[in-house]
Chain A
Amino acid sequence: MSTEVIMPRLGESLVEGTVTKWLRHPDDHIEEFEPLVEINTDKVDTEVPSPATGTVLKLYVAEGETVRAGTLLAVIGEPGEEVPDAPPADREEGATQVAPPKTADQGTPKAGRDGLGFISPVVSRIAAEHNVDLSQVSGTGSGGRITKKDVLAYIEGGRSAAPWEEPGSGELFRPTEEFFGDKPGTVPEPTGLADTVLPLDAVRTQIAEHMVRSRRTSAHVTTLMEADLGRVLAHRKEHKQSFAREGANLTLTAYFVAAAVEALKEVPIVNSSWSEAGIVLHKAANVGVAVSLGEAGLIVPVVKNAEQLSLQAIAKAINDLAERARSHKLVPDEVQGGTFTITNHGVTGSLLATPIIHQPQCAILGIGALQKRAVVIEGLSPSGEPEDSLAIRPMVYLTLTFDHRIIDGGIGDHFLGIVVQRLQSWA
């Protein structure tokens, strides 16, 4: 008797995944629970174990293909058993019976799907040709109808229609696009023999899609401050041992998360998302911490409910998430639901950067490299006269890149000021 391997539903909201690598091939023997296939979803790589012991009879999905949960991936059974040539129709996860066959019509999204309102035939054809998820497109037609113009604008990735409001104070508040120039021109097709094309893997494609969408969605603005980490470093030195005994590797990132969480509590509007209905204020502070995977890209596991955690608990949570991220053991839900993100770009030497907001969040905190710098300390002489002195201090640049649709420059500064204040007064 053969056993079917079905694409699992890997998380609450994850309904599709990409087959990145088959670990067994037709005619290979496999034991139950042995890894059969690597699946990639929303930046998480995970392995799907074999549901039975037997011989791999047939693989239905090629590497690199993205399929919905419930799709038949492979059949495992006795050698020589008959298997269907074409994959049977999709079925729901856990369903025992084959679902009634559907007409093959995957190309054309059906008009009038839930929540989207009327989808015109023209829009539907454009969406099908360009593989557009229409729920991502905002409609400007009457009653919010998605028009041809809307879907074409979405495809072309034109910049958000939201006008840039002049905040009126200083260079800092120029849009990040102005700092970095507009999007690069189209890259020419490789012509010389020396050129090579790196194939776009699922991680790269998803990062690219997310980055471009974010730039198009939010009105990015970056504000910059610096912080003296002297007190944080002293605190860390003092507690590192005791934390280690409790199983927590006390990293600087833990301090930044803790400081950011306090600022989020004081300025809750930063812990929010833009929606057509209004600005959604999130109750929980779920702080994403960007973790580099080297060439394999970047992942942002989320410290959930960070507002309820102590410094030690935060440190532990980060250790655990980062370690599992690097060994591809994260569960998809652990990279979702973030309400604020911190990126410690300083670990690779960067002094300051203007990161891209993790959609649909409001802001991202960028941490530069820790650097000993000479700073002027304002003080008083013993006789009470103003007397400044030079000191060597451990300094770090902090940037807050925020969605100017949601908050104004002053609020961004206020938030970042609290982070600085908290770090500098750590005790």
Chain B
Amino acid sequence: MPDYDVVVIGAGPGGYVCAIRAAQLGLKTAIVDREWLGGVCLNVGCIPSKALLKNAELAHVLRERGEYFGFSVEGLKLDYGRAVERSREVADRLVKGVGFLMKKNNIEVHMGAAILRSPNSIAVTNSEGEGVELGAKNIVVATGASAASIPGLEIDGQRVLTYREAILQTQAPKSVLIVGSGAVGLEFATIWNGYGVEVTIVEMLPRIAPLEDEDVSKELAKEFRRRGIKIMVGTKVDNIEVLKTKVKATVVGDSGKEILEAEQALVATGFRPNTAGFGLEDLGVQLAESGMVEIDERMGTNVPGIWAIGDVTGKLQLAHVAMAMGIVCAENIAGVETIELNYEMMPRATYSSPQVASFGMTEAQAEQRGYEIRVGRFPFQASGKSLGMGETAGWIKLISDARYGEILGAHLIGPEVTELLPELTLAQGMELTFTEIARNVHAHPTLSEAIMEAAHDAEGQAIHI
């Protein structure tokens, strides 16, 4: 039985990063995955969807914006199949890259399903049914999460999809019903809308992007509607009937029952942690009521030697958070200096059109906590770069504590705003205030100037508005 210092179960972004950091710290490390290196993120999540979104953006420009930019295309043909193929090439390339990184760091990769036999041993069974037993001083559970479904609804992969089938299918539907308006629902709405698919979003809560700042939800709904996406909020899906060529959904909203028909339905109502079938319960690993593995700030579970990171802990189901947790976990295992993560201040990104990026508290949350807040705003309509790009929807909203100037949160909607967060999160982490951001000279013309202007606004007065 080969013995390791660390065995990571799950090779998603949390798991493989944890393994690399552990190996870098001199620990003998192995990684186990039943399916693929790179996890959902690289294979069927974050990465291929970004490829499809780029295609969708081009498709949208070609289909809708010829008049604005001054071109016309006769006989425009959009090959959705090629878009998906390109997304697979991108994903495959990155997955190979992870394989290379495992080799480079001398991390042994065991493909197969893992079961924890004890806090120190794991049985791995590969697809041929061959088994191997791994000894481990430390086990990191990084098994991720799976799409949650609606009770009583079967995901058939043809008419009713999760993100997984949706991202791999080589044809776009003519019409689609998207249930849920978190990041997954909003991004698929953007992809399909770009290709001219008739998209209807059904959200149970009173607004789309329900976890974002309320102003962001409003702005996004306005833009989506302008692009022809139908939005139904405060609406619950009662039942989805699967017919031969379409789905028929009964939804209940403020105005009563309604029947919606579409070629396909995408269920994007959230994720459930993958905690079953690994033997966690048998070893007494404590799970929260919601099924997540409970961890402390070191990423340790209640069982010494068993650790957990990423989606399975339900902290924030975001790849970059999982990676950060992976690094902290490996450092705690090795006993070297590390940090404590502040989950509230983690960046959040949705690659819809327009994009949404945020971190920290919403305006409502900050007020609820009793902060006297200061808000700075700047619209992209007043940004030179944004005008030049022809993408002027959206704005930036910064929130700070009026008393000590601490940055409490930021909410951005607009072109490429997901790229604009790091300056703000770094400033927040270092406890800088908007004074420093306003005085930090930003290159002109850039989208990032809008942050500087919003900071000026929070401090008193913006220059360009």
Contacts and interface: CB of A to CB of B under 8 A. Distances in A.
Interface string B395-413: 0000000011110000000
A148 B431 contact: yes
A122 interface: yes
Interface stretch (B13-21, B72-80, B287-295, B432-440): B432-440
Residue from the set A121, A125, A142 with the largest chain B CB neighbour count within 10 Å: A121
A121 B339 contact: no
Contacts of B432: 120-122
Interface in A103-145: 118, 120-123, 125-126, 129, 142
Interface string B143-179: 0000000000000000000000000000000000000
Contacts of B436: 121
Given A147-B431, A148-B431, A122 B339 contact: no
Nearest to A148: B431
A126 B431 CA distance: 11
A142 B403 CA distance: 25
Which range contains the number of B residues in contact with the other chain? 10 to 19
A120 B405 CA distance: 11
Nearest to A142: B339
B269 to A, nearest CB: 36
Interface string B420-440: 000000000011110110000
B404 A125 contact: yes
B430 A120 contact: yes
B339 A120 contact: no
B385 to A, nearest CB: 28
A223 B74 CA distance: 94
A122 B436 CA distance: 11
Contacts of A121: 405, 431-433, 435-436
A147 B430 CA distance: 8
Contacts of A148: 404, 406, 431
A406 to B, nearest CB: 25
A405 B433 CA distance: 37
Contact of B405 (A122, A142, A147): A122
Nearest to B434: A121
A118 B429 CA distance: 13
A328 to B, nearest CB: 41
A108 to B, nearest CB: 12
A118 B339 CA distance: 18
A129 B435 CA distance: 18
B339 A126 contact: no
Given A120-B430, A120-B431, A125 B405 contact: yes
Nearest to A119: B431
Contacts of B431: 120-123, 147-148
A120 B433 CA distance: 9
Contacts of A120: 430-432
A97 B199 CA distance: 80
Contacts of B339: 142
Nearest to B339: A142
Contacts of B404: 122, 125-126, 129, 148
A142 B331 CA distance: 14
Interface string A134-170: 0000000010000110000000000000000000000
A121 B435 CA distance: 9
Contacts of A142: 339
Contacts of B430: 118, 120
Contacts of A129: 403-404
B449 to A, nearest CB: 22
B339 to A, nearest CB: 6
A122 B404 CA distance: 6
A115 B292 CA distance: 44
Residue from the set B406, B431, B433 with the largest chain A CB neighbour count within 10 Å: B431
A129 B433 CA distance: 16
Nearest to B430: A120
Nearest to B406: A122
Contacts of A123: 431
Interface in A356-387: none
Contacts of B405: 121-122, 125
A121 B436 CA distance: 9
B193 to A, nearest CB: 42
Nearest to B428: A122
Contacts of A126: 404
A147 B404 CA distance: 13
Contacts of B406: 122, 148
Interface in B427-465: 430-433, 435-436
B23 to A, nearest CB: 23
B249 to A, nearest CB: 49
Contacts of A125: 403-405, 433
Sorted nearest first, the 7 A-B pairs with minimum C-beta distance are A120-B431, A122-B431, A125-B404, A122-B406, A121-B433, A122-B404, A126-B404
Given A121-B431, A121-B432, A123-B431, 11 more contacts: A118-B430, A120-B430, A120-B431, A122-B404, A122-B405, A125-B433, A126-B404, A129-B403, A129-B404, A147-B431, A148-B431
Interface of A: 118, 120-123, 125-126, 129, 142, 147-148
27 contacts: A118-B430, A120-B430, A120-B431, A120-B432, A121-B405, A121-B431, A121-B432, A121-B433, A121-B435, A121-B436, A122-B404, A122-B405, A122-B406, A122-B431, A122-B432, A122-B433, A123-B431, A125-B403, A125-B404, A125-B405, A125-B433, A126-B404, A129-B404, A142-B339, A147-B431, A148-B404, A148-B431
